[in-house]
Amino acid sequence: MRILGFMETSLVDWDGKIVSVIFLGGCNFRCPFCHNYQLALDDPKLPETPWDDIAAVLKRKKDWLDGVCITGGEPMMHPEVFAMCRAIKEIGPKVKIDSNGYFPYPLKELIESELCDFVAMDIKAPLNEKYSAAAGRKLDLAPIRRSIRLLMESGTGYEFRSTLVPGLIDPEDIPEIGKAVQGAEVFTLQHYNPEHAGTEAYRKKETYSRAEAEEMASSLKPFVKEVRLRGKFLL
């Protein structure tokens, strides 16, 4: 497991909290719209950040830091993430995991071990043939469904979130996504920024306007308790 980035302070990676962010290399998905594709590929040209340097920052800031967000890439593909979460908790901050949901059993163990306080799980597309296109590889959707059920039954904090990529998530797909997470506490619809997408085709995609995003949020509201919009949607 390689640490390929560290942000000392973020106000946007965990709603309402001041956090540091750790970026891990490697992902089992190849999403064509991914803006962190170099991390996902564990690009050997990216320099590593030593854990000891990160730990020193967390200890220095522990009195006012609320938490640490571990993102990627895909954190749950690395067994070493358990030791990292344990080390963070020993310093003091809470831990948030960003995940694509494809590793439900490690995620369950992490939650039951009380090494994680919040999980943000990406829902890439409606749970049909579009999901494989969104993930960039052929998928069995059973692990995704298990992770959804796990989070909704776990008692830990969580949110589901979808990046509104035209062609992968269209307005008519929203009820299908809503049915898959029916009864969820929070679902966030995120603006898609094509500028740094991993493939040229997705760098050319038009994005949804705020009005279009608000319409999709309205069609999601019958299924979940709270719907949020995140990002700079165009007017």
Give the per-residue pLDDT at 36: 86
Could you identify the residue written with the tokens 């310093």?
91
CB 68 within 8 A of CB 18: no
First to last CA, the chain: 41
Looking at the predicted structure, is the pLDDT value of residue 178 above 90? yes
Residue extents of the structural domains in the chain:
3-230
The pLDDT tens digits of the residues spanning 127-177 come to 999 999 999 999 999 999 999 999 999 999 999 999 999 999 999 999 999
Question: pLDDT tens, 184-225?
Answer: 999 999 999 998 888 888 898 889 999 999 999 999 999 999
Q: How confident is the model at residue 39 (pLDDT cuts 50, 70, 90)?
A: confident
Reply yes or no on whether the pLDDT at 234 is more than 70: no
* Fold designation for 3-230: TIM Barrel (3.20.20)
Model's pTM, two decimal places?
Answer: 0.93
pLDDT tens digits, one per residue of 88-129: 999 999 999 999 999 999 999 999 999 999 999 999 999 999
pLDDT bracket for residue 37 (50, 70, 90): confident
DSSP 101: S
Q: Based on the number of CB atoms within 10 Å of its own CB, is 60 exposed (0-12), middle (13-18) or buried (19 or more)?
A: exposed
Query: How far is residue 135's CA from residue 55's CA, in Å, rounded to a whole number?
Result: 33
Task: Return the exposure string of 179-217: e unless at least 16 CB atoms fall within 10 Å of the residue's CB, then b.
Answer: ebbeebebbbbbbbebeebbeeebeebebbeeeebeebb
**What pLDDT does 21 receive?**
97
> Cα(172)–Cα(89) distance, rounded to whole angstroms?
42
pLDDT bracket for residue 25 (50, 70, 90): very high
Cβ neighbours around 54 below 10 Å, total: 20
Mean of pLDDT values over 224-233: 91
pLDDT on residue 128: 95
